[in-house]
Amino acid sequence: MDEQELARVRNQNLGFVFQDFMLLDGLTVFENICLPQVIADSPVPQMEARAGRFCEAFGIGRIRDKYPAEISGGEKQRTAVARALMNSPYILLADEPTGNLDSRSCRAVIDAFLQAKREMGATVFMVTHDSFAASFCDRVIVLRDGMIYTELTRRGTRREFMDELLEVLRELGGEGDDEE
Amino acid sequence: MTRSKVLAKLRERNKGHYRMLAFCIFLSVLLIGAFALMYFGPTVQDFLPEGGDTRKMAVLLMGATAVGCAIFTLYASMLFFRYKSREYGIFLALGEKKRNLNRMLFRELSSLTVSASLAGLAVAVPVSWLIWKLFELFLVSTDEMVYRLGIRGFLVGAGFALVLTLLLGVAGYRFVRCTDIMKILRTRHQPEMVKKIPSWTLPAGIVMIPLGIILALGIPQMSVYLLGKSAPSVTNLFYIPSVAGIYLVLLNIVGGSRQKNRKRFYKNMVSVSLMRFSARSATRNMCVIVLLLFACLFAFSFGLTYFDSGSLGTMENTRGFAMHYPSGENRITKKEIFDMAEKYGVQIQGYAEDSAADLVISYNTTDYTEDGSYVAVDLDDAKTALFLAEETWQKLTGREAEVESGTYRTVITPGYKENIWEHVDGLYRAANPDTGTEKELAFVGTLEDGNLPLMSDPYVYVIDNRDYRELTEGISGTWTEQIVMFDVDDLEGSYPFAKTLYAMYIEGASEETFVMTLYDRWEEERAQEAGEEYAYSGLLDVTPDNTQLFNEWKYVPDFRIVYSQDILQSISVYVMLCLYIFIITLATAAVMTYVRGISVASDNREVFLSLKKLGADASYRKWVLKSQLAKIFTYPGVLGCAAGMIFVLAQNWINDRRYSASEMKNFGILGVVCVLVLLFFYAIYRKVKKKAEEIVL
């Protein structure tokens, strides 16, 4: 694929959420959410209506006219999630989305992902070191040194899945430590 | 791998930053050094009168120029320090001692400054010589104006380099004082957003720019003409609305209020947001660029006006050679003039001579009272003025003049515009100073001539032949003058002939005629009778070598080519200064815009990365960058040129409520200069765009 085609794929088929939010500081929350459709040159009324719905859906409606510098980390990340979903991507790629957040904001972002999955049918592909965040996933691939170590699929409750995850992590981290 | 090797490698990798700062220092020292070498050189210093206005003005303008140079160099150093801050922060984070880093920075800074300054001073010598030769080619070409080198110019140039080094040292000190590693490492700048800008501010700003200029220029004139009083200097404060207007317009451009067209708004959203994020500094920066461009055009327009005052002009109804002197004087004869012309290979055309009378005039004029008011007064038998009979006018000028008995025509220069002081129809009576015979006269119109009006104050008058005979009957030689006028075939090539004739004229003149231009024998006699001191008494030092007597000596020969060359000599320094200020302000504006453009790219690298990840293709990102950069160049460029043009247009109109042919021509030239300035900006824009694309794409 050439650069043009890659850009189109990034814009139409993929959604990105980054650890450091990557919001444009000169744009308001609402304008940031609109950005993917602005790049795609989509019709304005539909774009504004969709962005407005996302603001309400992710609980950021009251801060829609604020700038990134004026909102919290959780609100920034929810804005980033809303922005990532604007073009209804096939996959939402999230790179350590909770890495910079406190527990309350972390929960809010996870809720936003769940909502995206539930209401928009989005597939969320998340890279994380946070087992709490990973426990909300349906399927977790555990990597070790760039190789797949194991794969887990959630069957029971989230808590049970988290225990299962922690067990794997214990296995991972425990090796070679017995002597210490 | 040693520390010095690492640093050398870093320098090699980032030589562009070093080169940029070195170039700015070099350019500053070169400009000031070359100027100082010229201005403080023996040629100009010997030429300019001690303590004269030209010296004061030149030093003032040079000071302003030095400030401009220092500002643009310091501005360029900001970019250098911005680049250094990252390198500095990484070294600090890795545990390097701050003292070592400071030493390293100051060592680099001082070697850069010293080498660039020395290079600037060295190149200043040939550059000043070259510019002088250029001026010689177009303006001055006499023996007194040969280029000579003086030590004072060097010292001034070196002094400036020293001050610049100190200023850069202070900038460096301020930079190293920042100890916060995180602050140093942070590449993203602080938000400088402005609050929502009300929509009325844009039209208000557009109106305020010309309004301020018109008020500041017009109120002093209106005050004189309508109220008869000089306006206080506080009216200069009206320029403030113009500057505020420029700021408001730029703030609107930078702050980008929401557009009604939603599609357009979203299209420009990213580009607008980038600028809005640094709105305060962007507006301030653009405002300074606008003012610099304004100063640049103003200097150019000033230089054009000076240059014009030294040109021969259109020579409409003007003879190349004209003389007037008291009738009893033994000046050069017609034969001597023709012999001299033959010797120099000059062909004399239309030679004419005749006599005219100095009659006592009663006239209406304007007086300036002690309380600052302008009042109209009728002055009876106040002074003398030169009167020509109709036939004399015809003989001297070769043109007809219709003057009935009891009337007069006032001789004015071509394109003359009446001022507040003198009125062409002010004369109402003339009298014979010896016999007292007087006659009431009525104004019937004006006659145009380029030479005669310079022979008498307030004017030269033409009256009916019979009236002239009646009024001059019994007049003594003391009150009559001889007038000689002629042309030559090649005026431009007649300078050697004119100089010799000039010397001959002075050698033949008696010392008592070396009086000031405004000297009036009648006035002096009245003052003596009243026991008062006469302001214009005293004799001038008139020598054949002194060709600076125009507007000084009452009987100075009006040899246009000598006059033009002399004016060119005295104005050449002004023209030079104006051109220098033009170059320096333009260079400062260019460097500031360049630095701003590069900063836009380097400060927003992450934004462009975000856009890429959000699916913006290269052409979209290029477009965002281009529209961002275009704004930085276009708006200040257009606004600065427009403000300069409006100012010159308003100034020319308000001066005498009309546009003369020369003003229109200069305005056209200024328009062409504006286009060239904008093209120059476009060239820098292209360069910045290329460099910025390398940074962000």
Integer-rounded Cα radius of gyration of chain B: 33
What's the token pair of residue A156? 């029971």
Distance from CA of A150 to the nearest CA of B (A): 30
* 8 Å CB contact of A16 and B273: no
Structural contact between residues B514 and B521, judged by C-beta atoms closer than 8 angstroms: no
A38, A124: one domain = yes
Give residues with Cβ within 8 angstroms of B474, minimum separation 6: B432, B434, B435, B437
Contact A11 B616 (CB under 8 A): yes
Residues A114, A171 within the same domain: no
Q: How many angstroms separate the CA atoms of B272 and B347, rounded?
A: 70
Q: Nearest-CA residue of chain B relative to A2?
A: B617
Please check whether residues A79 and A118 belong to one and the same domain: yes
Tell me, yes or no, whether A88 and A151 share the same domain: no
Measured between CB atoms, does B193 come within 8 Å of chain A?
Answer: yes
Q: Measured between alpha carbons, how far is B578 from B581 in angstroms, rounded to an integer?
A: 5
Contacts of B610 in chain A (CB under 8 A): 22-24
Residue A123 shares a structural domain with residue A170: no
Residues A81 and A53 in one domain: yes
pLDDT confidence of residue B138: 60
Listed as ranges, residues in chain A with pLDDT below 50 are 180
Give SS3 for B373.
strand
Cβ distance of A11 and B615 shorter than 8 Å: yes
- Chain B residue whose CA is closest to A8: B615
- pLDDT at position B677 is 94
Q: A43 and A21, same structural domain?
A: yes
Cα A60 to Cα A42: distance, rounded to the nearest angstrom:
23
Same domain, A32 and A80: yes
The reply to whether B689 touches chain A by the CB within 8 Å rule is no
CA atoms within 13 A on the CB side of B683: 8
Enumerate the residues of chain A whose CB falls inside 8 A of the CB of residue B193.
Answer: 26, 67
- Give rounded-to-5 percent helix, strand, coil for chain B: 65, 15, 25
CA distance B318 to B336: 23
Q: State the total domains in chain A.
A: 2
DSSP annotation string for B187-203: -SPPP---PPPPTTHHH
> How many residue pairs from chains A and B have C-beta atoms closer than 8 A?
82
The Cα of A102 is separated from the nearest Cα of chain B by a number of Å equal to: 21
Write out pLDDT tens, residues B409-459. 999 988 787 777 888 999 999 999 999 999 999 999 999 998 999 899 899
* Average per-residue pLDDT for chain B: 84
pLDDT of residue B187: 47
Question: Which residues, other chains included, contact A121 with Cβ-Cβ below 8 Å and sequence gap of 6+?
Answer: none
Identify whether residues A122 and A146 lie together within a single domain.
Answer: no
Q: What CATH number is attached to the domain comprising A55?
A: 3.40.50.300
Instruction: Name which of B192, B266, B600 to mutate to probe chain A: the one with the most chain A Cβ atoms within 10 A of its Cβ.
Output: B266
B446 and B480 in contact (C-beta within 8 Å)? Answer: no
Locate the domains of chain B by residue range: 1-186, 194-314+561-697, 321-490
Among A89, A114, A130, where does a domain finish? Answer: A130
- Residue span of the structural domain in which A72 resides: 3-130
Structure confidence at residue B70 (pLDDT)? 84
A180 with A123, same domain: the answer is no
ipTM for the predicted complex comes to 0.76
Strand partners for B41: none
As a whole number of angstroms, the distance between CA B591 and CA A171 comes to 62
**One domain, residues A153 and A67:** no
- Transcribe A46-112 into DSSP letters: HHHHHHHHHHHHTT-GGGTTS-GGGS-HHHHHHHHHHHHHTT--SEEEEESTTTT--HHHHHHHHHH
Instruction: Give the span between the Cα atoms of B356 and B327, in whole angstroms.
Output: 9
Residue ranges for chain B with pLDDT beneath 50:
187-189
Amino acid at B96: E
Looking at this protein, which amino acid is placed at residue B68? G
Are the C-beta atoms of residues B360 and B366 closer than 8 Å to each other?
no
Q: Can you give the pLDDT at residue A69?
A: 83
Mark whether A111 and A146 lie in a shared domain: no
